[in-house]
Amino acid sequence: MMRSNSENTAAIFDRIFKETWSGTVAYLIKISNNKELAEDLAQEAYLKAWQKLHLLPGEETEIARYILVIARNCFLDHLKAALRERKQHDAYTLSFPDAGHFSPAMSVIEAKEQQQIVNHTINNHEETVRRYYLLNREYGLTYKEIALREGVSEKTVERYIGRVLRSLRSRLATILFMW
């Protein structure tokens, strides 16, 4: 990042923030069609830029582009999270199509019971298998990201997560059959 003798890093970043904020928000509004979401994502992008200040390019025009790339990646992360939530909701709806026929209290009780069964099934696995599964399902990390993080092969991560998924399918299938 360009630094002059009279300006410190925070002052430079503050100036860049003021000069690029509206353009960044406008870009995010254009790709998201949602002003509130765009503002939230812009805040997240600038926070990430601040946290990675040492990685910012030397030229101020490049910094603006870099911030737009961070903003786009924040938007893509938001879409991935929304898609993950949607998949979970759809899977639940497919698994329990008659949930609407019960009282809300019954649905809550059933959902809690199912979650307990899922938690128990996951907890029956060894710690490493459980950790890989949670990193993938709860934190959204890919098999490759988990493998790099844990220092194992991608195939090992796939095999361990597959082990948990098979046991979950088996356990939930017997429960669904009983209902």
User: pLDDT digits over 143-171, tens only?
Assistant: 999 999 999 999 999 999 999 888 888 87
In the chain, where are the structural domains located? 9-82, 101-178
> Looking at residue 116, what is its pLDDT?
82
More reliable by pLDDT, 84 or 26:
26
CATH number assigned to the domain covering 9-82: 1.10.1740.10
Assess whether pLDDT exceeds 60 at residue 87: yes
Cα separations in angstroms, 68 against 27, 38, 39, 73, 74:
8, 12, 13, 9, 10
Assess whether pLDDT exceeds 80 at residue 110: no
Structure tokens at 158: 């796939």
Each residue's pLDDT tens digit, 64-85: 888 889 999 999 888 888 888 8
What contacts 9, CB < 8 A, 6 or more positions away? 1, 3, 53
Assess whether pLDDT exceeds 80 at residue 2: no
Return the DSSP state at 54. Answer: G
Residue 100 has, within 13 A of its CA and on its CB side, a CA count of 3
Q: How high is the mean pLDDT of the chain?
A: 81
Q: 97 pLDDT band (50/70/90 cuts)?
A: low
What contacts 169, CB < 8 A, 6 or more positions away? none
In whole angstroms, what is the distance from residue 46 CA to residue 15 CA? 12
CATH number assigned to the domain covering 101-178: 1.10.10.10
Assess whether pLDDT exceeds 60 at residue 177: no
In whole angstroms, what is the distance from residue 168 CA to residue 170 CA? 5
What contacts 16, CB < 8 A, 6 or more positions away? 60, 63, 64, 67
> Looking at residue 124, what is its pLDDT?
87
